[in-house]
Amino acid sequence: METKKGEGLPIRMIIITIICIVVLVIIVFIFQKQMGTADTDLGASFTCQGRGGTCIAATGNCGAGMDKVCGVTCAANANLRCCCVPSI
């Protein structure tokens, strides 16, 4: 009587697959956290305070070493439409 060896996935292949899935989940989690941080940082760069400036009226002037940028968000007062940011 001949005995046939059954075909199937070796236990080593199953363990490697499980490890790969766990590593993939960890990588996705890390990138998801980083994307949240980048989104927050990007949003801050569109505000006057996020750029390190001070809000002024559209008719106001900035001091020496400062550039006037209009169209940014001034959270302190909605009437202040321009921002004085440090020159680059």
Per-residue pLDDT tens digits for 5-47? 666 778 899 999 999 999 999 998 888 776 655 555 555 566 7
Q: Which residue has the higher pLDDT, 35 or 73?
A: 73
Amino acid letter for position 67: D
| pTM summary value | 0.43
The structural domains of the chain, with segments of one domain joined by +, span 10-44, 48-88
Q: What is the mean pLDDT of the chain?
A: 77
- Average pLDDT value for residue range 59-73: 82
b/e 60-83 (16+ beta carbons within 10 angstroms → b): eebeeebeeeeebbbeeeeebbbb
